Amino acid sequence: MPEAQLLEVEKLTAGFGNTPVLFDVDMLVRPGELVALIGANGAGKSSLLGALTGLVQVSSGTTRFDGRRVTGWRPEAIVGVGLAHVPQGRRLFGTMTVERNLQLGAYRRHDGKVRDDLRRVLEYFPALSDKLQREAGTLSGGEQQMVAIGRGLMARPKLLMIDEPSLGLAPKVVDRVMEVVKSINQDGTAVLLVEQDVVLALEIADRGYVLENGHMVMEGAAAKLREDPAIRKAYLGI
């Protein structure tokens, strides 16, 4: 029996207008995995997440998610089948309350478990428990990142894609956010993590991919990538 795949990306070329920024990208995420996507600034990491969620135009190639071909689907339909995206920069509604921002993550759901999932988010991020009625824009950067991840979880995703969660945060806050990302994964949600801190990303990931100038140039077990001389030279400075 072939191994089950949750996300399958084959020969994906995508970009903006007539200008591609991703070229023949192949990638797999299996159920329950935590996969790191690393690369220099401008390599195309955020564009790849956008292409997977219908925000960046795909010109060729195929994306399959949970057995469905989702290439060309609208973003809300992709969320509906279980692929959620926590964007770089958080992109919260600053004048809305924290609770309302979290509830927006469940806008496509029609089941009776939204309140249960809100409680689950607060178990991951207890610092938000007494801030539900505050405007999201008044929170610290770390708290806003917690809300952004929590909003993604409210969609009950099978795969949660998180773009640069450590950006602009203090080291202690980064450690806490990464602990939660790992816990989310251990609780059964697959995670695709884009992260500028290569050491941190490869420490918590099962596998990793390296994107350079829109091309996927390397993939493998996270432990092996950490020891690869090219990775150590390019991203660790050693």
Whether the pLDDT of residue 17 is over 90: the answer is no
**What is the rounded distance in angstroms from the CA atom of residue 19 to the CA atom of residue 64?**
23
Does 1 score more than 60 pLDDT?
no
Q: How confident is the model at residue 100 (pLDDT cuts 50, 70, 90)?
A: very high
Measure the CA–CA gap between 202 and 214, rounded to whole angstroms: 20
Two structure tokens written together for 208: 């990793």
Q: What angle do CA 172, 185, 102 make, to 5 degrees?
A: 75
Q: pLDDT tens, 50-86?
A: 999 999 999 999 999 999 999 999 999 999 999 999 9
Please, which residues bridge with residue 166 across strands?
none
Phi and psi for 207 in degrees, rounded to 5? Answer: -135, 165
- Report residue 112's pLDDT band, with 50, 70 and 90 as the boundaries: confident
H/E element holding 125?
Answer: none
What local confidence, expressed as pLDDT, does residue 91 receive? 84
Q: What is the mean pLDDT of residues 188-206?
A: 94
Tens of pLDDT, residue by residue over 152-169, are: 999 999 999 999 999 888
pTM, entire model: 0.93
**Three-class DSSP category at 190:** strand
Residue-by-residue DSSP string for 10-37: EEEEEEETTEEEEEEEEEEE-TT-EEEE
Residue 101 near residue 121, CB atoms below 8 Å: no
Kindly report the average pLDDT of the chain as a whole number.
93
- Which residue segments constitute the domains of the chain, with CATH numbers given? 7-91+157-235 (3.40.50.300)
- Cα 177–Cα 178–Cα 181 angle in degrees, nearest 5: 90
